[in-house]
Amino acid sequence: MPIRKISMPNLPARKLRSKSKPNSKAELLNSEHFRFLSDALRSLNEGFQNLPECKNDAPGDDRLAKVLTATAERLRDNYPYFHPLYAGQMLKPPHPVAQLAYALAMTINPNNHALDGGRATSAMEKEAVAQLAAMFGWKKFLGHLCSGGTMANLEALWVDGQSVPGKTIVASSQSHYTHERISKVLQLPFETIPSDARGRIDLKLLEKRLKRRGVGTIVVTMGTTATGAVDPLHEILALRKKYNFRIHADAAYGGYFTLVENLEPDTQKAFAALGEADSIAIDPHKHGLQPYGCGCILFKDPGVGRWYKHNSPYTYFTSTDLHLGEISLECSRPGAAAAALWATQKLLPLNKGGEFAQGLTKSSEAARAMYERLTCDARFITPFAPELDIVIFALRAETVSATSLLSRRIFDAAAQRDLHLALADLPVALFQHLPPNMKRDRDIITCLRSALMKPAHFDWVDQIWQRLLASVADVENRKTQISRHGK
């Protein structure tokens, strides 16, 4: 096969308006990275040198370059997810090694459904997934990559439904919204248990429900999407001895914090118990530095593979070794995702105290540093300290409605200053210490939410804080102008 020439223009770096940039590691790829990719591509192509030349009928290079530039222009219409001033939703830039390994593997475009479609990347997936399982202390397990947290949770609940048919799935009211929808798709009964004042599943209400019998599975959320609260898995294990149910840990967002050693004692205990769950969903495309399309489902008992058993008249011919499609619900899957994860874990092994774990520790410290500033400023209210790396806050006002409106205004004002936050509608009950004179005229309070998922956020807390204060001042000035001019 002839060496394929791939021209790689430098990506246009988005101009950031910030003047002072403390230690920002720009997360967009640079020309040096493209040199590495070009070297790696050469090495990959050498593996196919024995093949006769074949014509590449891709469009001409200048047409391609024009379209690529047009694509870049369209892509500018994005928030700068790679930059520390993006401190909103649960979005974390993939590590450069993951981006490059993905791009490299994509030139082959392997399909990890079967060894016929992705021999090398299937082997890489098996190794990378074994490293994820080892993080929870599992040597024997069944698992594979999938498209994301929703698919990983779907596979877990599907196996639960097969294992304990007719029984109810329960999850906290703060669990990810897809659990209810997945249960509907699978036609499994589903119930929610209200969360407590920390946003974790309420254990008393859970036990009350368990006493009524019929619960087959408890979904334990190891880091909720809204607030990063961690359900007390260690205490739920004690209930399992009494009431016997399956446990699925939705660790899509929080799972990697198993490697972190500076969490609150209760949170630490919950993570230490993860190996006792029957299944674990963990998303490398959230905290594992991967491009989207990389979730993972792990089962403690490899015997659940029996539920996946099927015949495929079209595949599984090339080898008697395990084809990943034999143990997954999806058929075609990107082998490039496996190559990216494998490369990332080779560079940054999943060890306690290692470089990868230190990155997570910095994120949680960033969240604590931000929380400290918020609690020292009487203008803000906060429900509770961040358990992982998500901070929730709002401005003090006379009513819950007024606070909610201010959250929206600050969200907009901050975006004008290139600080991108998120909003979350949460039960007022999560705010145990609302000022006594604040009128609770709504049950739901709209808050600002900041997922400080990048290690660099730690060095940027000051910048974020200054821009937040400036945005508050913008909103307050505007309020004064409105009351002065009546507009």
Residue count, binding to ligand PLP (CB under 6 A) = 14
96 makes contact with ligand PLP (CB under 6 A): no
Query: Is 113 or 179 the residue whose CB approaches ligand PLP more closely?
Result: 179
Least separation in angstroms between residue 367's CB and ligand PLP is: 16
Joined together, the tokens standing for residue 106 give: 């994509």
Q: Which stretch binds ligand PLP (CB under 6 A): 12-20, 68-76, 246-254, 340-348?
A: 246-254
Least separation in angstroms between residue 3's CB and ligand PLP is: 37
288 makes contact with ligand PLP (CB under 6 A): no
Q: Which stretch binds ligand PLP (CB under 6 A): 42-50, 191-199, 247-255, 392-400?
A: 247-255
Query: Is 117 or 288 the residue whose CB approaches ligand PLP more closely?
Result: 288
Least separation in angstroms between residue 295's CB and ligand PLP is: 5
176 makes contact with ligand PLP (CB under 6 A): yes
Least separation in angstroms between residue 27's CB and ligand PLP is: 20
Would you say 145 and 296 are in contact if contact means Cβ atoms under 8 Å apart?
yes
Least separation in angstroms between residue 200's CB and ligand PLP is: 13
Query: Is 148 or 383 the residue whose CB approaches ligand PLP more closely?
Result: 148
CA distance 214 to 230: 25
192 makes contact with ligand PLP (CB under 6 A): no
Query: Is 184 or 242 the residue whose CB approaches ligand PLP more closely?
Result: 184
252 makes contact with ligand PLP (CB under 6 A): yes
CA distance 284 to 125: 12
Least separation in angstroms between residue 175's CB and ligand PLP is: 7
Closest CA to 368 of 450, 426, 467: 450
- Show contacts with ligand PLP in window 108-167 (CB under 6 A): 148-150, 153
Q: Of all residues in this chain, which one has the CB nearest to ligand PLP in the complex?
A: 149
250 makes contact with ligand PLP (CB under 6 A): yes
Least separation in angstroms between residue 7's CB and ligand PLP is: 33
- The region that residue 228 occupies, defined by phi over 0 for left and psi between -120 and 50 for alpha, beta otherwise, is left
Residue 237: partners with Cβ closer than 8 Å, 6 or more residues away: 247, 273, 276
Site string for ligand PLP, 205-244 (x = CB under 6 A): ----------------x---x-------------------
- Tell me which of 82, 136, 158, 253 binds ligand PLP, using CB under 6 A: 253
Least separation in angstroms between residue 320's CB and ligand PLP is: 33
- The footprint of ligand PLP (CB under 6 A) covers 90, 148-150, 153, 176, 178, 221, 225, 250, 252-253, 283, 295
